[in-house]
C-alpha cells in the first residue's frame, strides 16, 4: 500500500488558494521533500482557470520528482437527477471535461460525488447517466471513482449497489475514513467499500494532547482495508484547522506504522 497526499490538505499554503507562498507547481517536490509521500490526489477547484499547458507542466513536475498526480477529485457534488434535464446534461459534460483534464495530468482516475436523494427513481436515473458517460472516461484510460455523499450514496450498501449496476472494469469507489466513522462502524463500512476502491482517503482531523487521532483510530482504518486485500493508494486528507505540515507528518508516521503492523 502506497501512502500519498490529498493536495487539498495543503490548500492554506498554496498562494492561489490560501495565504501561503507555495506554488501548486512546487507541490510535488514539496510533498516528497517534507513528507516522503509519492503521489497526489488533486482537487479540481485548485486547478480552476488553469490552462492545458499548466496541467502539462504540473504533470511533468510530478513525474520528474517521483510524486505524480494520481486522482483528480471533483469538489462539487454533481447532480444527474433533476426536474430540469439541463442539469443532468451539464453534470455529464462536467465529467467529460474533468476526464480530459485528468488525462492531461497523467491521473489514473477521476473521482466524483453524486448529489441525489435516496430514491429508486434517482438511483435508476444516476445509473443511466453514468453508464452513458463511462465510454468517454474509458477512452481516456481513466477509472471513475464515486465517493460517498449524503443522500443516494451515503449508505454503503446503496453505493455498492450503484457500482454493480453501472458495471465495468473502470468504475469504483473512493471511500474515506471520515465518512466510514460517521456511519457508526468505521471498520464495517471500509471493509464493504475497499474491494471496489481505486484509492482511499485517510481523513485526518487532528490530534489530542496525548497524540491520539481525534474521533477515530487511524490504525483501525488501515487494518480494515488491509483485511480485504486493498493494495492501492492511501491518501492523507487533512481536514483540520491546525498546522497542516505538522499534522500531516504525524499522520504519515502513524499510518506507516499501522501499515507495517497490518503486514506483519
What pLDDT, in 10s, does the model give residues 171-230? 999 999 999 999 999 999 999 999 999 999 999 999 999 999 999 999 999 999 999 999
| Strand, helix or coil for residue 64 | helix
Q: Which residue is associated with the grid cell 480485504?
A: 228
Q: What angle (nearest 5°) sits at the alpha carbon of residue 193, between those of residues 187 and 195?
A: 110
* Residues 164 and 83 placed together within one structural domain of the fold: yes
Element (H, E) at 41: strand 40-43
* Residues 166 and 187 placed together within one structural domain of the fold: no
* Residues 144 and 223 placed together within one structural domain of the fold: no
Residue 52 CA to residue 85 CA, distance in Å, equals: 30
* Residues 64 and 180 placed together within one structural domain of the fold: yes
Strands 69-73 and 109-113: parallel
Burial class (CB in 10 A: 0-12, 13-18, 19+), 240: middle
Is it the case that residue 18 has pLDDT exceeding 80?
A: no
Q: Would residue 146 count as lying in a domain?
A: yes
Number of H helices, E strands in the chain: 9, 8
- How long a stretch of residues is the chain? 264
Torsion, Cα 29 34 37 41, to 10 degrees, reads -60
Q: Would residue 141 count as lying in a domain?
A: yes
Please state the domain count of the chain: 2
pLDDT, tens digit (0-9, with 9 covering 90-100), for 140-175: 999 999 999 999 999 999 999 999 999 999 999 999
Q: Would residue 189 count as lying in a domain?
A: yes
Q: Would residue 45 count as lying in a domain?
A: no
| Strand, helix or coil for residue 76 | coil
Of 150, 174, 198, the one marking the end of a domain is 174
Residue 192 CA to residue 187 CA, distance in Å, equals: 9
pLDDT, tens digit (0-9, with 9 covering 90-100), for 23-50: 999 999 999 999 999 999 999 999 999 9
Of 146, 174, 202, the one marking the end of a domain is 174
Give the pLDDT score at 263. Answer: 78
The parent domain of residue 24 ranges over 1-40+59-69+176-264
Q: Would residue 53 count as lying in a domain?
A: no
Q: How many CB atoms lie within 10 A of CB 256?
A: 14
Of 129, 153, 174, the one marking the end of a domain is 174
pLDDT, tens digit (0-9, with 9 covering 90-100), for 85-122: 899 999 999 999 999 999 999 999 999 999 999 999 99
Amino acid at each position: 500500500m502506497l501512502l500519498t497526499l490529498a493536495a487539498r490538505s495543503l490548500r492554506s499554503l498554496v498562494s492561489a488558494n490560501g495565504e501561503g507562498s507555495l506554488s501548486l507547481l512546487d507541490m510535488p517536490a514539496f510533498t516528497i521533500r517534507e513528507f516522503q509521500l509519492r503521489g497526489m490526489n488533486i482537487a479540481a477547484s485548485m486547478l480552476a482557470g488553469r490552462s492545458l499547458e499548466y496541467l502539462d507542466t504540473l504533470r511533468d513536475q510530478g513525474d520528474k520528482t517521483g510524486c505524480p498526480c494520481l486522482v483528480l477529485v471533483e469538489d462539487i457534488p454533481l447532480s444527474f437527477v433533476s426536474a430540469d434535464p439541463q442539469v443532468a446534461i451539464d453534470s455529464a459534460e462536467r465529467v467529460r471535461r474533468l476526464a480530459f483534464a485528468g488525462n492531461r495530468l497523467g491521473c489514473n482516475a477521476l473521482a466524483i460525488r453524486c448529489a441525489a436523494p435516496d430514491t429508486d427513481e434517482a438511483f435508476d436515473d444516476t445509473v443511466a447517466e453514468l453508464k452513458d458517460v463511462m465510454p468517454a472516461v474509458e477512452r481516456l484510460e481513466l477509472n471513475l471513482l464515486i465517493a460517498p455523499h449524503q443522500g443516494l450514496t451515503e449508505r454503503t450498501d446503496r453505493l455498492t449497489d450503484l457500482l454493480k449496476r453501472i458495471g465495468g472494469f473502470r468504475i469504483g469507489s473512493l471511500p474515506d475514513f471520515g465518512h466510514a466513522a460517521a456511519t457508526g462502524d468505521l471498520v464495517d463500512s471500509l471493509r464493504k467499500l475497499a474491494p471496489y476502491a481505486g484509492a482511499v482517503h485517510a481523513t485526518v482531523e487532528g490530534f489530542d494532547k496525548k497524540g491520539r487521532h481525534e474521533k477515530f483510530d487511524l490504525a483501525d482504518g488501515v487494518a480494515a482495508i488491509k483485511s480485504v486485500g486493498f493494495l492501492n493508494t492511501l491518501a492523507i486528507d487533512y481536514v483540520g484547522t491546525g498546522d497542516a505540515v505538522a499534522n500531516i507528518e504525524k499522520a504519515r508516521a502513524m499510518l506507516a506504522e499501522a501499515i507495517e503492523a497490518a503486514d506483519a
